[in-house]
Amino acid sequence: MKKIVIPGDKLATIEEYIIKEGAYEDKQGFIRSLYLGSILIDPIEKNLAVRPLKKLKLIDIGDTTIGRISNFSGIYAYVDIFVVNNNVMDRKFTGTLHPPRYRNNRDISRMYKFGDYIYAEVISKANRTIHLSIEKKEFGVILAFCSLCGRALVRDKKSKKVKCKVCNRYEDRKLSTKYGKLL
Ligand SMILES: [Zn+2]
């Protein structure tokens, strides 16, 4: 049996269970939770425990992220991150996307555009900022939209570009090998 409880929640009476940990007995003889946590009941031993929930794991170097380009500043793009290591996050994080170093000209408008979905790796957390890279092959744009009509672009194998089937035109992106497969 596993249920989430908050501090002070009435869990049972002292006639029903013995407190093992994470709970207390109030003056009325009720067992109440000490933590935001999960309640564990042993029906044979008649034990009750509340185990505190672990704090949300923060984003770490090497984690993979999925997010959307929300802004630009010089050579950097800002990304609203909503998936980390395949888990949807319950709050918003913003990452700073660094342009790939191997590109001589740093014309980032040919690599990603506002509104593109990208798959990126966390490379640093310096200055309390999540720094993202799409340098490796698997990282890059995973879904992009036509600059003219806004429709989703499809990957064109021959040109290694993305194509709008409606406008019949091609656009450049630094594509992830997972383009069209993650979202
Ligand atoms: Zn189009």
Please tell me the predicted confidence (pLDDT) of residue 183: 78
* Span from the CA of 154 to the centroid of ligand 1 (angstroms): 11
**Model pLDDT, residue 58:** 77
How far does residue 169's CA lie from ligand 1's centre (Å)? 7
Structural domains in the chain plus CATH codes: 2-52 (2.40.50.100), 64-171 (2.40.50.140)
Check residue 88 and give its pLDDT. 81
Centre of ligand 1 to C-alpha 168, Å, is: 7
Distance CA 10, CA 58 (A): 31
| Residues near 162 by beta carbon (within 8 Å), at least 6 away in sequence | 141, 144, 153, 154, 155, 156, 170, 171, 173, 175, 179
Residue numbers in the chain where pLDDT is lower than 70: 1-2, 54-57, 103-106
pLDDT tens by residue, 147-173: 999 999 999 989 999 999 999 999 999
Maximum C-alpha span of the chain:
75
Q: Ligand 1 centre and the CA of 76: distance in Å?
A: 26
What is the CA(80)–ligand 1 centre distance, in A? 24
Prediction pTM value = 0.69
Rounded to the nearest angstrom, the distance between the alpha carbon of 153 and the centre of ligand 1 is 8
pLDDT at residue 1, as a whole number: 44
pLDDT at 16: 95
Give the chain as a 3 state SS string: CEEEECCCCEEEECCCCEEEECEEECCCCEEEECCCEEEEEECCCCEEEEEECCCCCCCCCCCEEEEEEEEEECCEEEEEEEEECCEEEEEEEEEEEECCCCCCCCCHHHCCCCCCEEEEEEEECHHHCEEEECCCCCCEEEECECCCCCCECEEECCCCEEEECCCCEEECCCECCCCCCCC
Please tell me the predicted confidence (pLDDT) of residue 104.
62
